[in-house]
Structure 1
Amino acid sequence: MSLKRDIPITVPVELRHAEELLEKYGRWAQDRYKKQRCASAEGAYRPPVSREDEPMESFIPDWNALQVQRALQVVPMQYRRVLFAIYVPQKEHPMAARRRYRLQRDVWDHSRIEGLRRFWAFYHLRYLTERATIAPILRDTESCALVA
């Protein structure tokens, strides 16, 4: 008896940037990655030398991660929970989350694509268009004056 495996879906070309951004956000949002070593009961395990030389993957800047987080808050919960399960690494495997939510594979895949669409529409409109403006920093300079 063979097990039925989930076939990974292909993300439409127009959503590839959104997926890449969410993958970077997921690496940023998880507990900070630390290179770790395996251990043995005898303490005799020695890791391969090449592991030390591997560069760590860089995270996205904090301000960019906050933009992604704000854009994700606009996505309806039914899609957002699927995006979090897929793109933010957690102890629970995404397919275990799918079973916990009791979603069929086609609903899961549709929720992923629709969630990416909604996320990207808001993120693109809010942060990547010419209309996007950075809020001015207003400083009250008069209140900082010395009082005689």
Structure 2
Amino acid sequence: MRRDINLATPVDLRQAEGLLEKYGHWAQDRYKKQRCASAEGGYVPPPLPMAERDLPMEPFIPDWSAVGVQRALNQVPLQYRRVLQAYYIPQRLPHHAIRRQHKISPRIWEESRILGIRMFWNVYRLHHLTT
């Protein structure tokens, strides 16, 4: 059985990857705290300790930052942008399934992800990052 190659993100791109992950959580915009239900409607979740019951949501990035990320992402060529969107924005299908649908090898997928992050980061640093 072949396994997907998990190329580590280069150290110089970790900040860009963190930004894309935060953008992905912001972009999905579907998060609602919910509980499990049963077909009969009689499911009662086990009680949680008070500390775990009201955990705050992880804060999203501000809208103006997300717009900057989106603009920089739009300047990345389409073949790399598709990989980044599949990888970092949560979707109905996981990114491995999307890769298989497009019939892309794992090595090409990971190399495209790294190249896409590099292209994104170059554009973002030039136009949207203030020092």
> Shared fold (TM-score greater than 0.5)?
yes
| Larger Rg belongs to | 1
Deviates more, 1:120-129 or 1:64-73: 120-129
CA distance 1:73–1:52, change in 2 (3 Å): same
Specify which structure has the bigger relative contact order, considering alpha-carbon pairs within 8 angstroms and separated by 6 or more residues.
2
Pairwise CA distance, 1:40 = 2.3
**1:44 partner letter:** Y
TM-score by length of 2: 0.90
Query: 1:18-51 deviations in whole A, cap 9, x for unaligned?
Result: 0000000000000331111011244132244244
CA distance 1:68–1:47, change in 2 (3 Å): farther
Query: 1:87-134 deviations in whole A, cap 9, x for unaligned?
Result: 00000110111011111011001100000000000000111256xxxx
1:1-148 to 2 correspondence within 5 Å? 3-42=1-40, 43-50=42-49, 51-129=52-130
Cα distance in 2 between the residues matched to 1:116 and 1:7: 17
TM-score by length of 1: 0.80
Pairwise CA distance, 1:8 = 2.6
**1:66 partner letter:** V
Cα distance in 1 between the residues matched to 2:37 and 2:48: 15
SS across alignment from 1:97: helix
**Unaligned segments of structure 2, at least 5 residues:** none
Give aligned pairs, total.
Answer: 128
CA distance 1:129–1:31, change in 2 (3 Å): closer
SS across alignment from 2:81: helix
RMSD of equivalent CA atoms? 1.5
What percentage of aligned pairs have identical amino acids?
A: 59
SS across alignment from 2:120: helix
Query: Is the 8 Å Cα contact of residues 22 and 87 (structure 1) preserved in structure 2?
Result: yes
Query: Is the 8 Å Cα contact of residues 37 and 47 (structure 1) preserved in structure 2?
Result: no
**1:22 partner letter:** L
Cα distance in 2 between the residues matched to 1:11 and 1:18: 10
**Unaligned segments of structure 1, at least 5 residues:** 131-148
